[in-house]
Chain A
Amino acid sequence: MYAWIWRHLPGPLPIRVLQALLLIAAVVALLLFVVFPWVEPRLPFGDPTLE
């Protein structure tokens, strides 16, 4: 998977490294700001209130 992505990044090495970092940052941001806030209420963690 990662090798396949790497092979398909265009440009010389420094540009590819930059693109790879941007891709990682985009995925992390998607997880932190969209996926996790959505998932979290559905998980049984840390509810401090009484039912």
Chain B
Amino acid sequence: MNCNPLQTTLQSPRHSIQLKNPIVPASGTFGNGSIVHSLYDINQLGAVLTKSITVEPRSGNPSPRIYETPSGLLNSVGLENKGLPWFLEEVQPFLLSLETSKWVSIAGFTIEEFETLAHVMDTLPIDALEVNVSCPNIHANGVQFCQNMAVLEETLRRVRKATHHFLIAKIALETNPLSQALDIIEQENFDAVCIGNTIRGIAIDAETRKPFFHKIFAGLSGPAIKPIALRVVWEAYDSHPTLPIIGCGGIQCASDVIEFLAAGATSVEVGTLNLVDPFILPRLIQDLETYCCTHQIDLPNTIGSAHHSLR
């Protein structure tokens, strides 16, 4: 049997990144990699992606921060992190010691903060910068960066000017109008889009009849959102077939990965299931290899294949 390698390439007009396989941990569900690296060798992953870093330290939202839903998880962590100087001091050495693709996620509360972060990251020998313009737990006048097209355009333009790195725009699944946002991402010379982040939801405590979370709104992730994420990946590939897509939303098994690739993703990010099973990523890689061998498919031909099947 001809077993195809899992190697995949994120290819834009300006850059390309070759990954050992399409499996990448989603930001915020993997720490900065060191804890998981004590459980298994994370160099086997397609890439390692850090938790979103902000300019200033953030203590995040008050507890409670976690609420389980049927097949999903609402979180209100609020981008807790120790800030940029700590990242440079404590995380950077570990990240740069890795022997796989090294990605950093950045989150700003103003366009200037995004610009600052991109500028600082430009000096580091990392492979990609994921620009988190979607996190629903933060307050930028109540509007996510990716939901205001003028703000999105300005943010991406200034980030692009600040760095030569391979740039990924991480957008919300609710981004509207999606096609216009993707136009902006391409036009501002971003290299890929990650679709997507958590979906805004709320929980109500039935005993007290009050919102469960202090911030009322929280982000829903996990298998519950997979069909929605697949739909947005499908639409993005349909309208922008040459823009590399990283699919993210509820992946639990190798066939979920195949579904995202068939819908148009080139690689995937796995989030919530890292919290359920810290050993899931190596298993996914192994299962994906078995799947490809068993079905005698290769990954490049799988990307967008569900669209091609309709032609």
Q: Is this pair of chains taken from one and the same complex?
A: no
Chain B interface residues (CB < 8 Å from chain A): none
A residues near B (Cβ < 8 Å) are: none
